[in-house]
């Protein structure tokens, strides 16, 4: 029997090939040579790439038998995940491979800013000797503010505390117990900005976090403070940062990531008192080797028919066909639960599976629920392998229970979250009909049946005449098209819950106008990211 073919499309470490072992036929191609890549893909079962090879719809279609695309790194901008999923191709990456490298680069930027190392080097190399011009500042007894206290934030905390720094952090999804464990004081974003001598950002890039540090936030910082971004381009408004540096509003900045890469112009890179690097967060020999070995192991698992925990689009391996369709549903329920919980810190997550599914191994649903919950909340790419680690680091306990009785549906899955203040949030879903339509069937105790779409708005208000007309008018005037609507209530005149499905994201100011128009107790948007 012929060995499965693994195509290596970019230079990878020898340890990567060793991790694949002798069970595969290894072929190589220059992934940047498009005709050669398409020709070589034709006989491959798996392809290993880094950042230079484009695995788009055309490349995926070049071989209907392709089973795995493995990216030896974190980012997946060069992989068309939607096309791969539609073709049944598993996509894997190495989500934990670069966390130490990213943390260390962040610290490098902090030290470079504190002691003016790049500028002093350039001055001396130019034949100057200006010691007094480059007088720096000690880190000892200074305050480091971390925005996003995930795994990288925790690594930076540990290392900078060794310098004698006080660490404060803003992260609405981290519990006080987790922060206490790290020796970190949790504060508001405003407090981080006002109190910190150095600020570093480690947030995911979402519509909510894009530009989260803009003119007003930079103005709130100390004039002697520095800011560092090694996470995602666009978290800091680059034009506002350049202006703040030119005006001396802050002391300096360290930037590794940009809104467009390479930067479209030098507005930011040429600003004074800035240290810039060309997206080097994962650019260490160790991170590259870890990434290669990690995805090689995933390829072995996938081609061996086993569960691949760090698949980013599908769960592979020995999962019963009756269980598999529910994985995507549970991930989306996790996203919905996170949106409904808002900024509340989760302490417990319960997954309750009822119906015929109780007779099967549905343990993957716990991973799917955690993956969905963290999808829009952390900087890292979330996968089945790191979702439990993210939960553990945030002090979130998770459990799975099954029961054969299901009241109204063949199968139901309920996610129930307990927040740090003791309140509970809950969402239930099912797959409906022969087309297996994903539906929300319960939300915080309200019975409702809504097909899951990309954009929903949830409203909680006192039931009374004229409500539908009021929010319909606000949406209409804002150009937001309503695609569907479901209303649930427990009694006439009591509280009612409406889920509106809309065709596009709803701006925050429109949500606030809706809230005011119907005097709502709660209005929030739920945006679903497809796996």
Q: Which residues are marked as active site?
A: 232, 261, 279
d(C-alpha 378, C-alpha 393), whole Å:
12
List residues bridging with 425 in a β-sheet.
Answer: 417
Angle, vertex CA 484, rays to CA 478 and CA 490, nearest 5? 110
SS3 of residue 25 by DSSP:
strand
Place of tokens 């996509």: 91
Q: Which DSSP helix (H) or strand (E) runs through 130?
A: none
What are the φ and ψ backbone dihedral angles of 95, each rounded to 5 degrees? -65, -20
CB-based contacts of 481-487 (< 8 A; 24+ apart in sequence): 483/453, 484/450, 484/451, 484/453, 486/448, 486/449, 486/450
Gyration radius of the chain's alpha carbons: 25
The runs of H, that is alpha helices, within 399-504 are 467-477
Tokens of 369: 């629920």
Identify the DSSP state of 530: P
Nearest to 146 by CA among 78, 97, 197: 197
Q: Quick check: helix, strand or coil at residue 449?
A: strand
Tokens read off for 53: 């090879």
C-alpha–C-alpha distance, residues 347 and 397, integer Å: 6
Distance CA 13, CA 285 (A): 9
Name the region of 433 (left: φ>0; alpha: ψ -120 to 50; beta: rest).
left
Report how far Cα 280 is from the mean position of its chain's Cα atoms: 19
508-523 burial, b at 16+ Cβ within 10 Å, e below that, comes to eebbebbbebbebeeb
């Amino acid at each position: 029997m012929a060995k499965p073919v693994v195509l290596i499309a970019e230079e990878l470490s020898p340890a990567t090939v060793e991790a694949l072992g002798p069970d595969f036929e290894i072929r190589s191609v220059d992934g940047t040579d498009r005709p050669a890549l398409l020709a070589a893909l034709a006989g491959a079962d798996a392809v290993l790439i880094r950042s230079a090879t484009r695995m788009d719809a055309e490349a995926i279609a070049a071989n209907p038998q392709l089973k795995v695309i493995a990216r030896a790194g974190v980012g997946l901008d060069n992989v068309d995940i939607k096309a791969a999923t539609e073709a049944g191709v598993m996509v894997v990456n190495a989500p934990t491979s670069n966390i130490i490298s990213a943390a260390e680069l962040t610290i490098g930027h902090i030290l470079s800013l504190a002691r003016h190392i790049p500028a002093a080097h350039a001055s001396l190399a130019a034949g100057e000797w200006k010691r007094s011009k480059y007088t720096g500042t000690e880190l000892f007894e200074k305050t480091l503010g971390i925005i996003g206290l995930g795994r990288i934030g925790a690594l930076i905390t540990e290392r900078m505390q060794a310098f004698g720094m006080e660490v404060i952090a803003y992260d609405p999804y981290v519990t006080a117990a987790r922060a206490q464990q790290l020796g970190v004081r949790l504060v508001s974003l405003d407090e981080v900005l006002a109190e910190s001598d150095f600020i570093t950002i480690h947030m995911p890039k979402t519509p909510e976090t894009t530009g989260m540090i803009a003119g007003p936030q930079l103005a709130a910082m100390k004039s002697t403070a520095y800011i560092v971004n090694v996470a995602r381009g666009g978290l800091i408004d680059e034009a506002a940062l350049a202006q703040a540096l030119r005006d001396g509003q802050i002391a300096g900045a360290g930037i590794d990531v940009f809104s467009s890469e390479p930067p479209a112009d030098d507005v930011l890179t040429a600003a004074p008192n800035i240290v810039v690097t060309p997206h080097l967060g994962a650019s260490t020999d160790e991170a590259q080797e870890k990434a290669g070995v990690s995805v090689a192991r995933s390829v072995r698992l996938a081609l061996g028919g086993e569960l691949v925990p760090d698949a980013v689009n599908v769960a592979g391996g020995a999962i019963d066909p009756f269980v598999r369709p529910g994985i995507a549903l549970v991930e989306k329920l996790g996203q919905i639960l996170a949106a409904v919980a808002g900024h509340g810190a989760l302490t417990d997550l319960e997954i309750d599976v009822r119906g015929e599914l109780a007779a099967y191994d549905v343990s993957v649903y716990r991973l799917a629920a955690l993956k969905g919950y963290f999808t829009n909340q952390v900087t890292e790419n979330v996968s089945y392998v790191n979702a439990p680690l993210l939960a553990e680091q945030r002090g979130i306990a998770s459990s799975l229970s099954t029961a054969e009785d299901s009241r109204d549906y063949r199968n139901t899955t309920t996610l129930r979250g307990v927040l740090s203040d003791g309140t509970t949030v809950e969402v239930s879903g099912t797959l409906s009909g022969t087309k297996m339509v994903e539906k929300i069937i319960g939300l915080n105790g309200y019975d409702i049946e809504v097909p899951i779409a990309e954009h929903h708005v949830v409203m909680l208000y006192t039931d009374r005449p004229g409500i539908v007309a009021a929010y319909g008018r606000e949406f209409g005037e804002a150009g937001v098209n309503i695609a569907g609507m479901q209303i649930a209530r427990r009694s006439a005149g009591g509280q009612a819950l409406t889920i509106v499905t809309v065709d596009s994201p709803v701006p925050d100011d429109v949500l606030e106008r809706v809230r005011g128009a119907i005097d709502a107790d709660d209005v929030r948007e739920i945006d679903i990211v497809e796996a």
